[in-house]
Structure 1
Amino acid sequence: MQTSEQTVKQTANPWYKEFWFWFVMAIPLLAIALGIAMLTVSIKGADTLVRDNYYKDGLAIRNDLSRDYKAKDLQLAATIKVDNLTGDINVKLTGELAQFPAKLSLSLVSPTIPDDDQSLLMRHIAKGHYVGQLKQQVKGKRYIQLETIPTERDKYTDNDWRLISAWYLSNEQETISLGSTTATATTETN
């Protein structure tokens, strides 16, 4: 006859083979794994759009408006043609300029993804015509800024100006018109 102690020894499995042990331990182990995953995502996906010194940035915006007023006084308007297939950008600038600048800066800024921002140097090829090349395709909403390049770093003179607007690029070819008061975008189809 077997004793109850011998029966227990024969039927009992080791702890790591027991279903209920793993059923109970799954919840804390899952919580630890999800916690590590959330911590990793929060560290790698930090919001880079938040600025530390927003008050100072706000004061700088007030100073920049003088260039916008200068563009309005000169009655500047620009037609920008973007070709996402070839990467070509053509700018036709009109207005009451005594002399067209040799180079202009064109910035295409994404409102949410800083890695998608592009800053291009536009070269003057003919009276009021400028050309440049995209580094990568541009899709979605962008803030566009066409401006003169300051002679010294971040020191603008009374002759410096800029045209700014927001637009949404949806197709391969797009034409954007920037003016002193309005901006429009039209899509070209082949």
Structure 2
Amino acid sequence: MNEPTPKPWYREPWAWMVLAPLITVVVVSTITVSIAVRFADDKVSDTYYKDSRMYHFSAEQDLRAKELGLAALVQFQPSDNAVVVELNGDLDYPKALLLTLSHPVESDLDKHIELSQLSVGRYQGALPEGIGNRWYLRLMPELDPDAHQDANWRLKGEINFDLGNAAPLNAVTQ
């Protein structure tokens, strides 16, 4: 009796019926993981700390700014390629300040502007490229952006360049 020669496994339909769902799951999982890694949420850059499994917010810098009666007006002057800050309050004015422009969505787009003192309460820095639309603003006496939690005080605000080139900064307390 002549029995037909068996086909290789990859030419059998039952093999592909078993393997097709598994291959599909591996491909879709790989795509999902790569999307999750590429578009992960940015780390929150503020005065939060983790205690056990609870997150706590520290408002010491904001309270200190409120005690000093601090307020500022930030003016962006595209024609002069400058940022001017008028700071008011009861403090020894530092020689330099740091103004951080935080992008609402992508932390990679954040910009840090070092402001030099022109006169008492008046500071100026260079306007960075590529600003427009909406940004969160943070002003503080600490010049290292990574050491923002060490600053003695801070002022916060928000600007939408579609509405104007100036924004007030205040001590924000919960």
Asked if structure 2 preserves the Cα contact closer than 8 Å seen for 1:67 and 1:162, the reply is: yes
Percent of aligned positions that are identical = 23
Pick the aligned partner of 1:163 from 155, 158, 161: 155
1:71/1:50 Cα in 2 relative to 1: closer, same or farther (>3 Å)? closer
What RMSD over aligned residues (CA atoms) do the two structures have, in Å?
3.7
What corresponds to 1:5 in structure 2? none
Q: Which runs of 5+ in 2 are unaligned?
A: 1-20
2:15 aligned partner? none
Counterpart in the other structure of 1:187: none
Please tell me whether Structure 1 or Structure 2 has the larger radius of gyration of its CA atoms. Answer: 1
Q: Quote the residue 2:85 is aligned against.
A: 91
TM-score (norm 1): 0.60
Give the distance between the partners of 1:77 and 1:50, measured in 2 at CA. 24
The superposition leaves residues 143-171 of structure 1 with CA deviations (integer Å, 9 ceiling, x where unpaired) of 211111279x56747xx221112x24234
Deviations 1:70-93 (A, max 9, x none): 211221111100134654110011
CA distance in 2, matches of 1:112, 1:48: 8
* Correspondence for 2:74 among 73, 77, 80: 80
Q: How does 1:37-116 map to 2 (within 5 A)?
A: 40-49=34-43, 55-56=50-51, 58-59=55-56, 61-62=57-58, 65-84=59-78, 87-97=81-91, 99-116=92-109
**Could you tell me which of 132, 145, 158 is aligned with 2:138?**
145
Q: Could you list the structure 1 runs, at least 4 aligned residues long, displaced by more than 6 angstroms after superposition.
A: 30-36
Pick closer, same or farther for the CA change 1:41–1:180 going to 2, 3 Å: closer
Q: How many residues align?
A: 147
Q: Distance in 1 between matches of 2:87 and 2:139?
A: 10
Report how far residue 180 of structure 1 moved: 4.2
1:174 alignment counterpart: 165
